[in-house]
Amino acid sequence: MATALLAKQLITPLQTIDDAALLFEDGIISAAGIRDEVQFSPRTRVIDFGDAILAPGLIDIHIHGAAGHDVMEGDDAGLAAIERHMATHGVTSYCPTTVTAAIDLTLRSLEALGHALSHPPKNEPTRARPLAIHLEGPFLSHAKRGVHPPSLLQPASLELFDKMWQAANGRVGLLTIAPEIEGAVDLIAEATRRGVVASLGHSNADLAQADQGIRAGARHATHTFNAMRPLDHRNPGLLGAVLTNNELTADIIADGIHVASEVVDLFVRAKGIARAVLITDSISATGMPDGSYMLGGLQVEVHDGRCDYQGRLAGSVLTLDRAVRNTMQFARLGLQHAIQMATLNPARVLRIERRKGSLTAGADADIAVFSPAGEVIRTIVGGVVN
């Protein structure tokens, strides 16, 4: 049965439509526009959200866990809990993200995640859907490893990457890598050849090393400013490339803890609305009370919204809808532009913008319904409305 949603506004997100209607059937959007111009039959199910705002479902390309569970647990019940939590915050799609761990544990986790991606849950519309796996580690810089265990970091090995690829059944979509480490340029080129997005991060690269990675195929950057060489006016390093190279998209953790609000504003100004991506980097503690939680094999202490491991930041408890609202405040943006950074832009990073990240004809009916204040009212995954 066809369904029509009515609302005061609809964000596509490249435009805002007032007095809007959205029509979809069998999980695919067939029309979006001014309600008087969207035609549907008398048999169409009509749901009127009043003064609410329809937007694409949010997409988080960097998330380690939530609701007390970590994506590396390899447990169906744990993934279900994470996905249900994300859906309550407007997220309809995501990239489960690994953290550096022992190789055998990593391979087992990748096998479980690859299986989950190949066998999505049926008849569970309240769960976000995984898109592809994001490998964060083990090909990272020791100098900018963050909390990734130094003894488990690896040189950029084509052989090891292939083992990880095979374990995940080829469902790797994003690879965070430091371009200056041994073998990185060759691995970036091979990952790119396989359709994996190489993302520069956890790196102490100078500008020349960053440029080498970009020439090899890297086209994104991971949690900009965090785990990167600080910007120097004479030796700008990777960060200088990230902020000035228009061929790179880049993401940021806009929780007010990882990066100061003024720097979020600077980031948006430097990258522009079209190349800035919001992520959470959230861990198992997200949505839970203060206490001790796991990030891969690390026990992280969480207090007042800050996640610490041995005095270092270890992920976040940020939700993506909160990141949208924070970015509106920090960078003085309207909802439309902040929504674009959490929908269409991450879809473009993954090259899936024809079916995800927008409310346009032919796209999947993944929808987040917001209040005028930017709070999530309802999340619709795959066109299933409860």
> What was the pLDDT predicted at 309?
96
What is the band of 121 on the pLDDT scale with cuts at 50, 70, 90? confident
* Residue 124 reports pLDDT greater than 80: no
- Region 9-36: mean pLDDT is 97
Given a cut of 80, is residue 209 above it in pLDDT? Answer: yes
Distance CA 248, CA 270 (A): 11
**With 90 as the cut, is the pLDDT of residue 293 above it?**
yes
Q: What is the pLDDT of residue 125?
A: 78
What is the 8-class DSSP label of residue 203? Answer: B
Residue range 357-378: average pLDDT?
97
CA angle 315, 188, 113 (to 5 degrees): 50
- In a 13 Å sphere around the CA of 98, the CA atoms on its Cβ side amount to 34
Residue 153 is inside which H or E element, if any?
none
Rounded to whole angstroms, the Cα distance separating 137 from 124 reads 31
> For all residues of the chain together, what is the average pLDDT?
97
Q: Report the pLDDT averaged over residues 377-386.
A: 93
Q: Of 70, 206, 251, 281, which is the active-site residue?
A: 281
Considering the chain, what percentage of its residues have pLDDT values greater than 90? 96
Tell me what pLDDT residue 1 has: 85
Q: Taking Cα atoms as reference points, which of 281, 362, 370 lies closest to residue 328?
A: 370
Q: How much is the pLDDT for 74?
A: 85
Quick check: is 281 catalytic?
A: yes
What's the rounded mean pLDDT across residues 206-229? 98
The pLDDT of residue 28: 97
8 A C-beta contact, residue 210 and residue 237:
yes
Tell me the two tokens of residue 79: 């993934």
Q: Is the pLDDT of residue 237 over 80?
A: yes
**Mean pLDDT, residues 20-42 taken together:** 95
126-138 pLDDT, tens digit each: 999 999 999 999 9
Task: Please give the pLDDT value at position 301.
Answer: 97
pLDDT, average across residues 154-162: 98
For the segment 350-358, the average pLDDT, to the nearest whole number, is: 98
Q: Which domains does the chain have, with CATH numbers?
A: 3-54+371-380 (2.30.40.10), 58-356 (3.20.20.140)
pLDDT of residue 324: 98
